[in-house]
Every structure is written in structure tokens, then in C-alpha cells.
């Protein structure tokens, strides 16, 4: 019983509900991502210096 409730709570907390418009925009960005910004490029460079190649 408690385990079922816990599973439901986790599922409800981890599912994101998007409007139709948001779903279309999300899919569009996945299929056609924008060019990385200078800030993102700097972040990747910093990550590679600290952690290693991506």
C-alpha cells in the first residue's frame, strides 16, 4: 500500500505536462537546436578543463 503510494508520488512529481504549443516548441528545438551561445561555449571549455572532454 505505502509502496504504491510512493510510486504514484514519484511518478506525479517527475512527469512534466506541457501545453500543445509548448510540446511543438520543445520538439522543434530538439529537431533544430539553436547555435550555442558564447556563454555555453565558455561553460563547455571550463567543463573540459575541470572534468575532461564531453
Question: Domain extents for the chain?
Answer: 2-50
Contacts of 44 (CB under 8 A, 6+ apart): 36, 54
Residue 12: the pLDDT is 79
pTM for the model = 0.53
> How many percent of the chain have pLDDT more than 70?
100
For the cut 80, the answer to whether the pLDDT of residue 54 exceeds it is no
Residue 33, helix vs strand vs coil = coil
For residue 36, the surrounding DSSP H or E stretch is none
| Predicted confidence band of residue 51 (pLDDT cuts 50, 70, 90) | very high
15 against 24, higher pLDDT: 24
How far are the Cα atoms of 1, 16, 24, 29, 31 from residue 19, in angstroms, in the given order? 33, 10, 9, 15, 18
Q: What is the pLDDT of residues 16-38, one digit of tens each?
A: 889 999 999 999 999 999 999 99
**Model pLDDT, residue 53:** 84
Amino acid at each position: 500500500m505505502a509502496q504504491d503510494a510512493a510510486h504514484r508520488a514519484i511518478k506525479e512529481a517527475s512527469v512534466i505536462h506541457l501545453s500543445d504549443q509548448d510540446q511543438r516548441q520543445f520538439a522543434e528545438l530538439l529537431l533544430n537546436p539553436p547555435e550555442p551561445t558564447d556563454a555555453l561555449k565558455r561553460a563547455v571549455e571550463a567543463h573540459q578543463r575541470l572534468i575532461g572532454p564531453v
